Amino acid sequence: MTRLSVNINKIATLRNARGEDNPNVLATALDIESFGAEGITVHPRPDERHIRRADVRELAPAISTEFNIEGYPAPDFISLVRSVKPAQVTLVPDAPDTITSNSGWNVEANREFLTDIVKQFKDAGIRVSIFIDPDVSQIRAAASVGADRVELYTKSYADKYPQDPVSAIAPYIEAARAARDVGLGLNAGHDLSLRNLKYFHDNIPWLDEVSIGHALICDAIYLGLQPTIKAYLDCLK
């Protein structure tokens, strides 16, 4: 079964736009779970432009599905994640001023750094996923630094899918098989949507998890949050 983890950063962005507490991030996360999502994802950035550290601390004990925290493993991020102990941490290579994640790790070039970071989180009992491009060599490197899973960065797939879905999915199938061969769990995220998710899942049915935020919240503006989550879950059947 492939889990749907909903990234709620956009809920926090909307809240922060008015400087008040509407929508309430915790209440929305709990509603998302009640609507059938199997996980909640957040990406707390240093400037707290959407999810705040206080949100993470409030969400952690309340989430009844899987809680996934994404971010660059700077010391303050490591401390936050280790203190709340989510089910999973997803390591991304973003600079502090990056608007949104736009590339996977070069694991080979950061081998020593990532080996240490992965060990710190695993010693705390937290599953570790590394955000990565569909590159077989990098996937093998992720296994060698001790990661439990990789999350495939899907922008290239999403960009090419409308014109040529077969060529769009091909490197992801190869990467997914490589991950399976070296014993890594497999996540995917960032640019998946109702338009392209079913095809992605049909071709890589052993996915453990998809993490989707921006597209899902955009769809929810028109469809409503509960019907949108159902539609995404239907893509994973």
- Per-residue pLDDT for 99 more than 60? no
Which whole number is the average pLDDT over 103-118?
Answer: 95
Q: State the average pLDDT for the chain.
A: 96
Radius of gyration for the alpha carbons in the chain, expressed in angstroms and rounded: 17
Enter the tokens of residue 64.
């009844």
Q: Is the pLDDT of residue 97 over 90?
A: no
- Residues contacting residue 87 through CB under 8 Å, at least 6 positions apart: 39, 66, 67, 68, 126, 127
Name the region of 7 (left: φ>0; alpha: ψ -120 to 50; beta: rest). beta
Average pLDDT, integer, range 216-232: 98
For residues 153-172, give the mean pLDDT.
98
**Is residue 94 very low, low, confident or very high in pLDDT (cuts 50, 70, 90)?**
confident
**Residue 93, pLDDT above cutoff 70:** yes
DSSP character for 23?
Answer: S
Q: Quick one: how many helices (H) and strands (E) in the chain?
A: 11, 8
Give me the active site residues, please: 43, 70, 190
Class of domain 3-235: alpha beta
Residues 140-159 pLDDT 10s = 999 999 999 999 999 999 99
Summarised one tens digit per residue, pLDDT across range 16-29 is: 999 899 999 999 99
Question: Residue 70 above 90 pLDDT?
Answer: yes
β-strands 66-71, 88-91 pairing? parallel
What are 190-223's pLDDT values in tens digits? 899 999 999 999 999 999 999 999 999 999 999 9
Q: pTM of this prediction? A: 0.95
Which among 216, 193, 214, 219 is positioned nearest to 43, based on CA atoms? Answer: 214
Domain ranges of the chain: 3-235
pLDDT of residue 103: 75
